[in-house]
Amino acid sequence: MLKLISFIIIFTFAAPAFAQQQGRPGFDQNKWNFLIATGPFVSPEYEGAKNYRVLPLPFIRASKGNYSIQTEGPGLTANIIDDANFNAGPSLQFRGERDDDVNNPVLKRFETINSSIEAGGFISYRFATGPRGEGVTAKIKTMFDIGNAHKGYTISNSLSYNKPIGPKLRMGVSLSTTYADKNYNNTYFGINTFNAAQSGFQLYEANSGFKDIGGMLNLAYSFDQQWGLVGLFGYKKLIGSADDSPIIKNIGTSNQFLGSIALSYRF
């Protein structure tokens, strides 16, 4: 189940790398276009983990004109606005439980955090800065727990720049940060009485605030109009109440790295 938590972390970085490929030669906006990508992805076991694991990276996107629907980890996001620059739509995702399948022997003894469904949406706006495919995109995405896990919400903010640097090669860079309310931060980074007794850590109540900042570099290479290769490298640093948590200070780390190479096919 913890793999699904990692998928959510992954696609905070990964989805824009694949979505940008719609500007490649041969893309017909008047027809339905599909993109499928998969490959190994290296990511932390959970937020703040020192241990890493290799996961498969499935990604599916369907688009026609300005409309699109795509996977983002164990969830879906859709753009329902018919505009070339302004996008908005609903998002739904599954957040897996954190239980005793972690590698850390201390965290194994912590109370299980239940799995949950999160619902919300996003808005984004793209500013063209050059030829077709080059531009800056600002995006905000808010997700609410509608299950029984953290009972809170997160607001993810990102600013990305994409640019073709040749007939077959595209580059993208992005900066991002995530705000989390007290319920979310306290669920994943707080220490209650039970967990304190199991670990010897002091009681800790996390507050609301920005919990991370990060950046990503991605490169997309087109072999032809159908096959391509995407490589990306991301870094995220936990900050605020997340970084101050005894979990991070004693058994984790605030430095989180991500990396992947994925083969893509579109039709």
Give per-residue pLDDT as tens, 146-176: 988 899 999 999 999 999 998 899 999 999 9
In the block, tokens 């490169």 appear at: 219
Number of domains forming the structure of the chain:
1
Higher-pLDDT residue of 156 and 73 is 156
Residue (of 241, 240, 239, 237) closest to 256 by Cα position: 237
CA-based max dimension of the chain: 61
In this predicted structure, which of 49-63, 158-172, 179-193 has the lowest mean pLDDT? 49-63
Q: Quick one: average pLDDT of 247-264?
A: 94
**pLDDT over 70, % of the chain:** 90
Rounded Cα distance between 234 and 44, Å, is 11
**pLDDT over 90, % of the chain:** 64
Q: Are 22 and 33 in contact (CB under 8 A)?
A: yes
Pairing between strand 255-266 and 153-164? unpaired
Which CATH number belongs to the domain containing residue 80 in this structure?
2.40.160.40
In this predicted structure, which of 8-12, 108-112, 198-202 has the lowest mean pLDDT? 8-12
Give residue 60's domain range.
2-266
Higher-pLDDT residue of 18 and 146 is 146
- CB proximity list for 248: less than 8 A, separation 6 or greater: 48, 189, 238, 242, 254
Rounded Cα distance between 157 and 173, Å, is 14
What angle (nearest 5°) sits at the alpha carbon of residue 140, between those of residues 118 and 26? 100
Report the pLDDT value the prediction gives residue 82, as an integer from 0 to 100. 92
Tokens of residue 2, six digits: 């913890």
pLDDT at 4 over 70: no
Which pTM was predicted? Answer: 0.87
Band of pLDDT at residue 195, cut at 50, 70 and 90: very high
In the block, tokens 């072999």 appear at: 223
Band of pLDDT at residue 27, cut at 50, 70 and 90: low
Band of pLDDT at residue 9, cut at 50, 70 and 90: very low
**Mean residue pLDDT across the chain:** 87
Rounded Cα distance between 14 and 160, Å, is 12
Report the pLDDT value the prediction gives residue 8, as an integer from 0 to 100. 47
pLDDT at 183 over 90: yes
Report the pLDDT value the prediction gives residue 5, as an integer from 0 to 100. 45
Report the pLDDT value the prediction gives residue 26, as an integer from 0 to 100. 56
Q: Are 34 and 18 in contact (CB under 8 A)?
A: no
